[in-house]
Amino acid sequence: MKCVRSALFILVSVTVTFAASAQTVRFDSARKLWFLSTRDTSYVLGINEQNEMQHVYWGKRIAAENDFAPAHLASAYGFETREGRTAEEYPAWGGMRYGEPCLKVTFPDGNRDLVLKFDSQKIGSDILEITLKDISYGVFVTLRYRVFTAFDVIEKSVRVDNRTKEPIVVESAQSGVWHLPSGQHYRLSYLHGYWAGETRLAQEPIDPGKKILESRRGNTSGQANPWFAIDAGGAADEEHGKVWFGALGWSGNWKLVIEDTPYDQVRVVGGFNDFDFSYPLKPGESLNTPLFYGGYTELGFGDASRLMHSFEREAILPARSAGHLRPILYNSWEATEFNVDEAGQKALADKAARIGVELFVMDDGWFGQRNDDHAGLGDWYVNPQKFPNGLGPLIQYVKSKGMKFGLWVEPEMVNPNSNLYRKHPDWVINFSGRPRTEGRNQLVLNLARDDVKEYLLATLVKLLRENDIDFLKWDMNRHFSEPGWPAVAPADERKLWVNYVLNLYDIIDQLRAKYPKLEIESCSGGGGRIDLGILKRVEQAWTSDNTDAFDRLTIQDGFTHAYAPKLMMDWVTDVPNMNGRSTPLKFRFLAAMMGSMGIGANLNRWSDEDFALASKMAAYYKTIRATVQEGDLYRLASPHEGELTASQYVSRDGRQSVLFAFLRSQQFLRPAPTISLRGLDPNANYRVISIDDKLIDKADVLSGAYVMNHGLNFNLTGDFDSTSITLERVK
C-alpha cells in the first residue's frame, strides 16, 4: 500500500463532564494542570515537557492546589525508559512503552506506532476537552471523564474516531488507567466464582507483574466480576484505611489489568478484553469504550461500598428506580418448572397473595412447544395447549389478588428444535462449516446482526402490547462458542463481541422508552450478568442460582462490596437445597431480607405453619424494606471470618436501623459473639424491637453509644440460628 502518512494525522480529544458546581473542574494555565474535585477527593492531571498528558495525583482532596508542581517526565537511565517510568494518563502503544497500553491501532500502511501529543483544550460550564494529536495520523480519540461529586466517583470512557481517508483497525481499546501513589505495598480485593458460587470475595497482595481479571465468555460472567478495590499496605478493614475502588460498566468481554511495574507503580487498566479483539473502523466511523468508574476513601471497605451503593442507586439505575422500592416477588420455577398452565399458576397466585407477595412471576414453559429445555426457545408465542385463552385471564386474576404480573424470557437464545431456527439457521453465532456447540440444548442468536435485533425488539413489543406485563426476568443461560459472523467480511467478524452488547443495550433501551413502567431483572444462569452497564437498564439482578441460605450469606457478602443490596435478588426456597443442607425457614427468610426479597419455593407443599411464618416475615420485611434497600450497609461480621455473620442497615435519615445475625453452628456451649453496631448517633436513644426472644439485652430503649460500644448479645444456639432487630430513634 502506498504510504499516506503525509495526508493523515491522529487527534485524541479528552472530554470531561461533571454534574456538580463550577469548581468541579479547573485548569491552571501557568502550570498546565487540571483539577477534578469531588466532595472528598482530588484527581489531578497535566501536560509534561514532552507535551504529553500525565497523571499527577488521585487521593484525598487537597484544597491547596497551588502546592502541585507541573507534570514532569521521569528520568531515563540505562535500559529504563522515561515513558515506562512516567504515569501517563492514557498510554497508547508506541515508542518505548512496554507496560499495558490503553490503545493500539494498525494503520493502512502497516504502521502500528501511536504517539499522542497535547494539541488544545476547551472548557465549558461543566465540560473540559483536551485534544491530543499523533504526530502523523488522522484518528480522533475522545477521553471522557464525568465527576460525581457527592459519591467521590469519577467516570472515564473513550471514543475513537477514524477521520482518515482509509480504514484502520483498533486492536485494543481501554477505557482508561487508574494510577495509585507509587512506592507503596498494596492489596487487591476482587470477586470470583462460578455457577452457583458467584461474587465471592478474594484478597491478595499486589506483587510485581500483572494480575488479570477478565471474561472471554461473551457476557460479564460469574467466574469474575469487573470490580476491584485496592488498599494501602493491606491494612484497611471495614471502617478504616485508604481504599481505591472501581468498576467497569460492560456486559460483554471485559478485562482489568492490575499492574505493579518494576518502578513500584501500581495501576489498573480496564476496558474491552483484547483477546480475539479487532474492530475495523471505516472513514467516519467511531468506537466507544465501556464506562470505567473509580473512587477513593480513607474510611475502609465499608465506606467504599456505601459510596458505590449510593452512586448506583442515584446515578446508575434507571431514573424511575430512584427511591422506588422493590416489591416482594414470587417466582413459579421451583414449583412447576416447565409444567405451567392457567389453573396451576392461579393456584400458586392464591398462595402467594396469602403471604403478602406483590409481584407474581411465571417462569419458563409458557411459550412455543416448551415442555423441557430441548425445544421452544425463539418461539415467543403463548403455548395454546397450556393457555388456550392466552395469558390475559391469568394476568387479570393475578392483578385481582393485588399483585403485579411478571414473565420469564430468554430472547438471546434459540433451540435448534424451534420454528425460528428452522427458518433462520443463519441467525446464530457460528463459524461456517464448523460444528455448532450447544449449551443447555441451545444456541446463541447473533444480536450483532441488525435484522436479529429488530426481530427480537418487534417480538418483545408484541408480547408487551398484547399482555399487561409489568416485569420481565431476562435470562441468558449459556456463553458464547464459535463466535463467528459469516454474513460479514472476515475482517469484520470480530466486531461481534462489541456489537452484540450494543444491540442488546439498544433493545432494552427501546423497550424501556416505549414501556416506561416496565421493570426488568438481569439474569444469566444466576449472577452471570451483573455490571454497571446492564444495571443502567434494569431494576435488579439475579444473584445466583444457588439459593442455599447459608451459601447465600457468602455470595451476598461479596456482592455488596461492589453492588447495592437493592439490586440483589434473594429468594426463599425449599430445603434440602443443592448442597443437601436443611436450614430453618426463618433463617432462609432473614437471609433473603438482606436485599430485594423473593420467594421461589413450591408453595403447594407448604404447611399452615409455613404460611403463618412466611406472612409474618413478609410483613416484617415491609416495615424495614426502605432501610434495607435505600439505606447504608455496615458489614459487622463476615461469613469468611467465623461462625457469626451480621449485617446492619441504617436509613438515610438515621431514624431506623436493622440488624440481621446468623450463627452457623455452636460448639462447647460458647455464647455467640457480642455484636457492636455502627452508623448510629451516640447521643440519641433508640427503641429496640426484636422479632423473637433472642436478644439478651432486655431494655426497651438503649443509647447509640451503648449499642455501638458495649454492643448487643443474642442467645443464638445450635446450628443455623438467626435473629433480627430494629432500632427506632426516639424523638
Which sequence positions are flagged as catalytic? 475, 545
β-pair type (291-297, 685-690): unpaired
Q: Per residue, what are the HEC states of 93-148?
A: CCCCCCCCCCEEEECCCCCCCCCEEEEEEEECCCEEEEEEEECCCCEEEEEEEEEE
Tell whether omega for the bond before 576 is within 30 degrees of 0, i.e. cis.
Answer: yes
> Could you give the count of Cα atoms lying within 13 Å of 686 in the half-sphere of its Cβ?
26
Are the beta carbons of 6 and 131 closer than 8 angstroms? Answer: no
Question: 257 - beta bridge partners?
Answer: 212, 269
Q: Give ∠ CA 542-545-548 in degrees, rounded to 5.
A: 115
Q: Residue 151 in 3-state DSSP?
A: helix
Are the beta carbons of 549 and 588 closer than 8 angstroms? Answer: yes
Residues in the chain: 731
Report the C-alpha gap between 44 and 69 in whole angstroms. 11
Question: 519 - beta bridge partners?
Answer: 471
Phi-psi region of 574 (alpha: psi -120 to 50; beta: other; left: phi over 0): beta
User: Measured between alpha carbons, how far is residue 308 from residues 156, 305, 357 in Å?
Assistant: 16, 5, 29
Are the beta carbons of 117 and 135 closer than 8 angstroms? Answer: yes
Q: Residues 6 or more apart from 400 whose CB is under 8 A from it?
A: none
**One-character DSSP codes across 46-77:** EE-TTS-EEEEEEEE--S-GGGPPPP-PPPPB
Report the C-alpha gap between 202 and 516 in whole angstroms. 38
Looking up cell 439490586, which residue turns up? 567
Are the beta carbons of 695 and 622 closer than 8 angstroms? Answer: no
Report the C-alpha gap between 59 and 41 in whole angstroms. 5
**Per-residue DSSP letter, 692:** S
Torsion of CA 531, 533, 534, 540, to 10 degrees: 60
**Can you read off the three cell numbers belonging to residue 442?**
441451545
Burial class of residue 184, CB neighbours in 10 A (0-12, 13-18, 19+): middle
Looking up cell 442455599, which residue turns up? 548
Are the beta carbons of 409 and 380 closer than 8 angstroms? Answer: yes
